């Protein structure tokens, strides 16, 4: 049985209460806030020292079940997208176990035993891969069931690194059904791309060697990354997925792009999302008809950029990994298109593409890795509802990206009556209750020292203790969890 109405029926989120205001962070670091605010945002969240990807995911899932009155016995697929796992064997089943324990304590039915529990890892794209897997499950052997996908991550960067202001932590859970109540997928015309990029953004286990475990056994998870090269990888993979998408649609690419009511992208920070969308739109013109080519030429002329060079860069994908082999990763393979994209970002046509729905909220949360894209979708849809927009039948474009590299572009359509499901998202509530932390507490949380801030809130899961191996069974490093009351 193939169902064409599979998609998302609900969102629920969890953001840790510990907030770093970037205006304050700039005073500590000596950075200029006006620049940081424009490029990155206004603040980011940090998980408590007794929180991890699993506790945040479980909190978001429990909220999803409550907000949408979900029957746990109908869940046949429970997928976790994360790059912040702390167990190299189990994953989603840990989250399921926490949620089931909470449901049991409340006297409620638990998530079905007949339930798949995969974890998906590919940098920030794991959650999108989980969505596609859940959709395929619902269209085949799980067509009479429902699915949960939760994205949960902790973005941490070394002190004084260029990535430090782009940190964040949080989780977003999504309810998927054969008959979507909010957004239905159109995977038939989705775009995919993947390429090996070497040292773009990696987390080799060797980083953990020599780290002394603290009271909560949380290893510092600072990635290996190369800023200029990572930006090149991002735009190149978005373009590759765009070519795949545009080859599968009927209207010409620019018409398709302009028909979207909103575009939501993975956003490690504000400027990166803007750059990715600008590149994708320029590609749609380069692959279009004579009118599109003339429009692209006009933009190039206005920006004093070599038009033919732009066409060449967009139509002839470079060998990005060659930069690594040549040990020249700082080279810009899209110099002309980059300058044109910069010019385009200040234009009216780009303002019509780059939605402001949920934008203010996302500038407050920081980088959520796998949860970044669904968080923006949740915030944006809730904003549209509050603004009284009627989006029934309109389409959005979602662009997911994971370093290493891979990208997915999926069109989604608002179903009739989407407002009811949107009214339960409660993203604004997840933003509420934040507590700004000072420089001393920031340093303690960042370095997971023993005196760092703990999170113990009602309805929020946390690590209660960690096994030390002195029990009657081997439990070294095994975490035990509780739900705050």
Q: For 416-432, how does the pLDDT look when each residue is reduced to its tens digit (9 = 90+)? A: 999 999 999 999 999 99
Strand runs labelled E in 2-143: 7-14, 18-21, 43-46, 75-81, 119-120
Task: HSE, CB side, 13 Å, CA atoms: give it for residue 12.
Answer: 22
Q: Is the pLDDT of residue 1 over 60?
A: no
Can you give the pLDDT at residue 321?
93
Q: For 259-272, how does the pLDDT look when each residue is reduced to its tens digit (9 = 90+)? A: 999 999 999 989 99
Mean pLDDT across the chain: 93
Closest C-alpha among 130, 115, 106, 36 to residue 73? 115
Residues above pLDDT 70, as percent of the chain: 96
CA distances from 43 to 29, 236, 292, 363 (A): 14, 28, 39, 7
Closest C-alpha among 198, 194, 195, 196 to residue 324? 198
Closest C-alpha among 175, 179, 191, 168 to residue 364? 168
What are the chain's domains? 7-483 (3.40.47.10)
Task: HSE, CB side, 13 Å, CA atoms: give it for residue 262.
Answer: 25
Can you give the pLDDT at residue 448?
75
Mean pLDDT value across residues 30-48: 96
| 159-173, 358-372, 466-480: least confidently modelled range | 466-480
Can you give the pLDDT at residue 251?
86
CA distances from 395 to 56, 236, 256 (A): 30, 24, 10
CA distances from 184 to 180, 213, 324, 424 (A): 6, 45, 40, 17
Per-residue pLDDT band for 470 (boundaries 50, 70, 90) equals confident
Closest C-alpha among 375, 390, 383 to residue 356? 383
Can you give the pLDDT at residue 88?
87
Q: How many other CB atoms are found less than 10 A from the CB of residue 433?
A: 10
Q: What is the dihedral of CA 329, 191, 421, 277, to 10 degrees?
A: 50
Per-residue pLDDT band for 177 (boundaries 50, 70, 90) equals very high
Q: Is the pLDDT of residue 234 over 50?
A: yes
Q: For 236-248, how does the pLDDT look when each residue is reduced to its tens digit (9 = 90+)? A: 999 999 999 999 9
CA distances from 89 to 54, 67, 266 (A): 13, 31, 27
Segments in 259-371 forming alpha helices (H): 270-286, 290-302, 307-315, 322-325, 335-344, 348-353, 359-365
What does the DSSP 8-state code read for residue 157? Answer: -
Can you give the pLDDT at residue 201?
86
Contact 363, 431 (CB under 8 A): no
Mean pLDDT value across residues 14-28: 97
Contact 83, 68 (CB under 8 A): no
Can you give the pLDDT at residue 471?
75
Can you give the pLDDT at residue 119?
98
Residues above pLDDT 90, as percent of the chain: 85
């Amino acid at each position: 049985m193939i169902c064409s109405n599979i998609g998302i029926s609900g969102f629920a989120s969890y953001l840790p209460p510990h907030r770093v205001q970037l205006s304050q962070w700039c005073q500590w670091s000596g950075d200029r806030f006006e620049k940081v605010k424009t490029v990155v945002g206004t603040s980011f969240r940090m998980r408590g020292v007794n929180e991890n990807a699993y506790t945040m995911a479980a909190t978001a899932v429990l909220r999803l079940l409550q907000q949408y009155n979900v029957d746990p016995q109908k869940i046949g697929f429970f997928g976790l997208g994360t790059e912040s796992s702390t167990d190299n064997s189990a994953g989603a089943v840990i989250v399921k176990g926490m949620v089931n324990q909470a449901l049991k304590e409340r006297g409620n039915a638990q998530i079905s035993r007949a339930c798949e529990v995969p974890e998906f890892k590919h940098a920030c794209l794991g959650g999108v891969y989980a969505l596609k897997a859940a959709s395929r499950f619902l269209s085949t052997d799980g067509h009479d069931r429902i699915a949960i996908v939760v994205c949960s991550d902790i973005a941490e960067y070394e002190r004084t690194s260029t990535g430090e202001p782009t940190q964040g932590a949080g989780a977003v859970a999504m309810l998927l059904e054969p008959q979507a109540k909010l957004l239905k997928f159109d995977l038939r015309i989705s775009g995919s791309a993947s390429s090996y990029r070497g040292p773009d953004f990696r987390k080799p286990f060797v980083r953990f060697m020599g780290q002394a475990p603290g009271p909560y056994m949380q290893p510092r998870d600072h990635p290996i990354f190369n800023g200029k090269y990572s930006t090149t990888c991002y735009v190149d993979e978005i373009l590759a997925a765009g070519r795949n998408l545009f080859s599968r649609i009927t209207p010409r690419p620019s018409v398709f792009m302009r028909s979207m009511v909103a575009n939501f992208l993975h956003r490690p920070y504000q400027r990166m999302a803007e750059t990715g969308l600008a590149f994708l739109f320029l590609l749609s013109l380069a692959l279009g008809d004579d009118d599109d080519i003339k429009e692209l030429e006009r933009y190039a002329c206005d920006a004093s950029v070599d038009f033919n060079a732009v066409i060449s860069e967009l139509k002839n994908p470079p060998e990005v990994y060659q930069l690594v082999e040549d040990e020249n990763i700082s080279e810009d393979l899209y110099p002309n298109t980059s300058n044109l994209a910069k010019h385009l970002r200040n234009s009216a046509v780009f303002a019509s593409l780059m939605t402001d729905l949920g934008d203010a909220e996302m500038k407050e949360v920081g980088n959520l890795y796998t949860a970044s894209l669904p968080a923006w979708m949740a915030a944006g849809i809730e904003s549209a509802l509050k603004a009284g927009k009627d989006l029934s039948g309109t389409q959005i474009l979602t662009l997911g990206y994971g370093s290493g590299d891979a990208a997915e572009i999926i069109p989604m359509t608002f179903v009739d009556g989407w407002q009811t499901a949107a009214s339960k998202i409660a993203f604004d509530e997840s933003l509420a209750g934040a507590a700004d932390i000072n420089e001393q507490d920031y340093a303690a949380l960042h370095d997971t020292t023993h005196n760092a801030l703990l999170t113990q809130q009602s309805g929020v899961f946390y690590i209660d203790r960690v096994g030390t191996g002195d029990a009657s069974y081997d439990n070294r490093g095994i975490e035990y969890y509780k739900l705050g009351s």
